[in-house]
Structure 1
Amino acid sequence: MGIIGWIVLGLLAGAIAKAIMPGKDPGGIFVTLGIGVAGALVGGFLGSAIFGIGLDTFWSFQTWIVAILGSLLLLGIYRVVVGRRVKA
């Protein structure tokens, strides 16, 4: 999958992760979408390292699930880390 495909997948995965985890994010929509791109990469890496599945093709169902789960993971970590800093 090309770099533009990765970016589009990550942006969409970030938007879906934001819809799944509603609430106020400390960084706004652009940070959330950036986390989506990074989450897609992290999800692909962890999926291939642990389960042997990764980000193979853009239209594959497993690609989307792995990218969304990676985005949810990073979004959750981001909220915990930055949320503590903002409140303290």
Structure 2
Amino acid sequence: MWSLIVAIVIGFVAGLIARAIHPGEDKAGFFVTAALGIAGSLLATYGGRFLGLYPEGSSAGFIASIIGAIIILFIYNLIAKKS
């Protein structure tokens, strides 16, 4: 449970940093960016566990969370441009 809370908090900050790093114009607001960052952090955490990079019960690191948030933000922008 604690690792999930840590992943959410790290993801919130990672989403803000990912938005600053990600090139292009973002039309996503603050809350959408934070949610995408949290999703990226959870992606990095559970994806890393699935690949064997992290032991069970640990969360992804800060850099991995930022990378996950950038990936989610990139996918979000591709979907948002089509609609």
Please classify the TM superposition score into its range, dividing by the shorter chain length.
0.7 to 0.9
Quick one: distance in 1 between partners of 2:52 and 2:69? 17
**TM-score scaled by structure 2?**
0.79
Quick one: distance in 2 between partners of 1:34 and 1:22? 19
Instruction: Give unpaired runs (5+ residues) of structure 1.
Output: none
- 8 Å Cα contact 2:16-2:34 kept in structure 1: yes
Secondary structure (helix, strand or coil) at the match of 2:61 reads: helix
Partner of 2:6 in structure 1? 5
% identical equivalent positions: 36
Equivalent residues in 2 for 1:1-88, closer than 5 Å: 2=2, 3-53=4-54, 56=58, 63-85=61-83
**RMSD, matched Cα:** 2.2
Instruction: Give unpaired runs (5+ residues) of structure 2.
Output: none
**TM-score scaled by structure 1?**
0.75
Amino acid paired to 1:56:
S
